Structure 1
């Protein structure tokens, strides 16, 4: 008997066997996704334009500086940052990379279910007003409420904050220091095409931002939607697309509390540099298996600026190439005749 577990944030399906798995049956370390193994840890490793990295760094630094001020005006904190752009543009990677540099923890929202797979429309309000979807919206509201009340933990002692902790201090806001830095990261958003759901999400965001007890900045990751079906109803398509104006309440947009930074597809030069870095690290000591320049250039051309797609494609290419690459016969040199062996009589 097997149990299936779905991870909503990563769109992965895991099968948990009912019997213990033998060590020999476990997949080799090489089977781990390269996109996870070679995540950029510093600016020189990230494939995003330096200007975009600088914009995000500047915004976060200013937000933390405002948090550290004593007797700060309530209207300036917390702030909201929305990173928009196509899939694989490095939006989340920049936030994760800067966590090492600016020394902050990331409190990340993960959908307990894949709500985006549910086609929630105004015509299906009654069907999706059941307990499962209501619980998802309530979980999102509870997440923001808990994030606003969670006492800060030392960066050195823990890299993950525990939301919903019972050790909450009723005292006024403490001073924020270098070891009291957190970023609320929200990427896998609940489906807000339903007007009731959207209003509930707006209410949760508004409550977090307006509450005098909250001080951590919020970062939303919004991926530009690409419509693959040209025959789809435009009204349905527009309603299902998440944009900064459908995500953020209008009163917050008009109150100068929201900053939008738009990312572009990764440039081919940055993409090539990133793939070379991954290939060099993965095939260190195994040069015969390393994808050559032709393969890397082909991956760059086909990925259309999507770094995630490019790294996954390069890994798939390497797996298909396999260990036979090192055993490929050498090509004959043109114009050089192979010497004949004289017959022995």
Structure 2
């Protein structure tokens, strides 16, 4: 299921891209050389997740006016599929003879029987391609990518600094009409550890009291949708709502089983949600936004009319559990980061090496050795497995 805010605010040009400015400039020069007729080695963008590797490829394609063809981790990437999906495209121009950017996302994720022969097929295509190709990976030094290394130009992308992360989420917060304090934004940026995507997810997971009126509107929209008895009613159920489309999908998905009681009703509803996802994938991959009307109809009318008859019961519609779990995981990351900082200070080591001391502290906990030296908070003590004895 696609996430809403980080997709909604994905950069549409290189100027909008946040962080890794030197890489952005390098990628732009690479593209301009290709555009001038000088064939370039495929780029392999690598680095931690959430820093914008895929977003950079899409921003580049949009700025250069190139079509984009993506092969991502959700596709089966064996030899036959790789050759079928990107084989011919790598040596032929796009519509109206324009360039076509081939994007092979998360190439280090190829594994198992399902992707057998994928790496060798990709290597052959890279060698022969006359079109620009960008690959992304978290771990560029994975053994399975050995044959790709000589065929690619490696470009490292680094974690985004806190100031840049905070500036981005502050802008999104302002444009979304969220009233979130500077202290909260600072905490989100600090906890993200340079992962902009997780910071935006964390931002979305914050529901300040000032948004209560908006929440009430969402509940009313959900009621209108699930109680609708015609196509027209269902399609008007979210009229006037400012909720983002992908967030709307999360709300609907999370509450189908709360509203419907029959197994076949729930199955029909999720079938329509699945078909809506297919159209959303086509919108993202092909940038054909007119297809979104079909996704919208499947998501609203399809789900609404999956019931045999209108339910007259009261339903307390729930906030999407996925976003809540993302917010909870960010809190755990914050506690872990605070622990690492304290360990680094007291053990005179680099913060990156602090994790090496966790097993030692866990043994101290098991043997009931006092941890006063580390001055841990209650949350940090719980993280290390110390129960509150009060």
- Which TM-score applies when normalising by structure 1? 0.55
Secondary structure of residue in 1 paired with 2:25: helix
* Within-5 A mapping of 1:118-137: 136-137=78-79
* Within-5 A mapping of 1:176-187: 180-187=98-105
Residue 32 of structure 2 aligns with which residue? 61
Residue 101 of structure 1 aligns with which residue? 63
Higher helix share: 2
**Which of these residues, 124, 132, 135, is aligned with residue 217 of structure 1?**
132
Q: Relative to structure 1, is the Cα distance of residues 244 and 181 closer, same or farther in structure 2, using a 3 angstrom cutoff?
A: farther
**Is 1:48 equivalent to 2:10 in the alignment?**
no
**Which of these residues, 28, 34, 37, is aligned with residue 5 of structure 2?**
34
Q: Deviations over 1:208-267 (max 9, x none)?
A: 1343xx31121111014xxxxxxxxxxxxxxxxx63653251xx634xx42111111110
Q: Deviations over 1:166-217 (max 9, x none)?
A: xxxxxxxxxxxxx61111001144854459956x123212321343xx3112
* Within-5 A mapping of 1:199-238: 200-211=117-128, 214-224=129-139
Task: Tell me, yes or no, if the aligned pair for 1:45 and 1:274 is still in contact at 8 Å.
Answer: no
Q: Relative to structure 1, is the Cα distance of residues 303 and 258 closer, same or farther in structure 2, using a 3 angstrom cutoff?
A: same
Residue 163 of structure 2 aligns with which residue? 269
CA distance in structure 2 between the aligned counterparts of 1:59 and 1:245, rounded to whole angstroms: 27
Task: Tell me, yes or no, if the aligned pair for 2:69 and 2:86 is still in contact at 8 Å.
Answer: no
CA distance in structure 2 between the aligned counterparts of 1:93 and 1:190, rounded to whole angstroms: 18
**Is 1:243 equivalent to 2:243 in the alignment?**
no
Please give the root-mean-square deviation of Cα atoms over the aligned residues, in Å: 3.1
CA distance in structure 1 between the aligned counterparts of 2:74 and 2:200, rounded to whole angstroms: 27
CA distance in structure 1 between the aligned counterparts of 2:4 and 2:131, rounded to whole angstroms: 32
CA distance in structure 2 between the aligned counterparts of 1:190 and 1:136, rounded to whole angstroms: 13
CA distance in structure 2 between the aligned counterparts of 1:63 and 1:245, rounded to whole angstroms: 29
Shift of 1:273: 1.0
Q: Relative to structure 1, is the Cα distance of residues 310 and 259 closer, same or farther in structure 2, using a 3 angstrom cutoff?
A: same
Task: Tell me, yes or no, if the aligned pair for 1:86 and 1:223 is still in contact at 8 Å.
Answer: yes
CA distance in structure 1 between the aligned counterparts of 2:25 and 2:95, rounded to whole angstroms: 27
**Is 1:253 equivalent to 2:171 in the alignment?**
no
Shift of 1:143: 1.6
**Is 1:292 equivalent to 2:181 in the alignment?**
yes
Secondary structure of residue in 1 paired with 2:70: strand
**Which of these residues, 89, 105, 122, is aligned with residue 147 of structure 1?**
89
Aligned residues: 215
- Which TM-score applies when normalising by structure 2? 0.49
Q: Deviations over 1:78-99 (max 9, x none)?
A: 6211000001111112111122
Q: Relative to structure 1, is the Cα distance of residues 321 and 247 closer, same or farther in structure 2, using a 3 angstrom cutoff?
A: farther
Higher strand share: 1
Residue 193 of structure 2 aligns with which residue? 304
Q: Relative to structure 1, is the Cα distance of residues 183 and 319 closer, same or farther in structure 2, using a 3 angstrom cutoff?
A: farther
Give the unaligned 5+ runs of structure 2: 215-390
Q: Which moved more, 1:49-58 or 1:35-44?
A: 35-44
